[in-house]
Amino acid sequence: MSISALISMCESRVLIERSGKHELLMEDVVRVEVDGEDIKLMGVLGETRHVKGSIKEINLLKNTILII
Q: pLDDT of 7-63, one tens digit each?
A: 445 799 999 999 999 999 999 999 999 999 999 999 999 999 999 999 999 999 999
CATH fold, domain 10-67, is SH3 type barrels. (2.30.30)
Full DSSP string of 35-63: ETTEEEEEETTS-EEEEES-EEEEETTTT
Q: How much is the pLDDT for 9?
A: 56
Say what the pLDDT of residue 29 is.
97
- What's the pTM value of the predicted model, to 2 decimals? 0.83
List the chain domain ranges: 10-67
Phi, psi of 19 (to 5 degrees): 50, 40
59 or 1, higher pLDDT:
59
